[in-house]
Amino acid sequence: MSERIRVVVADDQNISRGFFEMYVRASCRYELAASLRTAREAVAYIDEHGADLLILDVMMQEGIDGLTAAGEIKRSHPDVKIILTTSTSETSWEDKAREIGVESFWYKEYDDHSLIEIMDRTADGGSIYPAEPPKVSFGKAQRSDLTDRELDVLRELTASLTNEEIAERLNISANTVKRHLQNIMEKTGFSSRLELAMHARLLGLVIHDEERTDPYDLRCKP
């Protein structure tokens, strides 16, 4: 019998981490090498002990986020296969993950594939990314009703930036930002910037890059 595939899981949420552990232990194909609470611990463990497969959440409460950790691991240990996961519907992370060389991306709440299917296909050399964005209701609209640029503006809005600051970040005019926000409000039925930002955060519709390591403060910010 061939050796089992050594799997490391890293997630700062006990329930999600326990879910990953259950899937690994339920299959005779895999061996749980380590179950960790932070992305930094995952980097340190793989540096010291190695692994065949890493299941890693993007958002972490402390230290570095999963995308940053995946980049470090891929540079030092390119043979380690990585599955990045998230409970949000933030799709911009998929492109970042592909650029890093991450094999697979799995939305905990929205993906039609089971985790064990993603694990098996990734372990066998596949690269599994969603065929379409998560289906999420946002007010009267669906996520798919918003353009990529509108999502960009909304993402910056959740960081409590002014129209001028958003314009500078996205290299567009403040009037263009204002027009995008008006379009989003017309589509969704929300009546203010505050409503847009609050609901986008609570839904995990878009997450600003600076907040990947501080997800639980999202509910507390104005």
Instruction: Give how many domains the chain has, as a whole number.
Output: 2
- Which of 101, 123, 145 is the last residue before a domain boundary? 123
What average pLDDT does the structure give for the chain? 91
In this structure, are 17 and 89 located in the same domain?
Answer: yes
Q: What's the pLDDT at 202?
A: 85
Closest CA to 35 of 61, 17, 16, 60: 17
Among the three residues 123, 148, 164, which one is the final residue of a domain in this structure? 123
Is pLDDT at 116 greater than 80 in this prediction? yes
Q: Is residue 78 part of a domain?
A: yes
Owning domain of residue 193: 137-217
Q: Which residues pair with 138 in a beta bridge?
A: 141
Enter the tokens of residue 151.
């999502």
Q: What confidence category does residue 2 fall into, taking pLDDT thresholds of 50, 70 and 90?
A: low
| 159, two tokens | 């960081």
**Residue 216 pLDDT > 70:** no
- State the average pLDDT over residues 103-120: 92
pTM: 0.84
Q: Residues 112, 205: one domain?
A: no
Angle value at C-alpha 55, between 124 and 69, nearest 5 degrees: 115
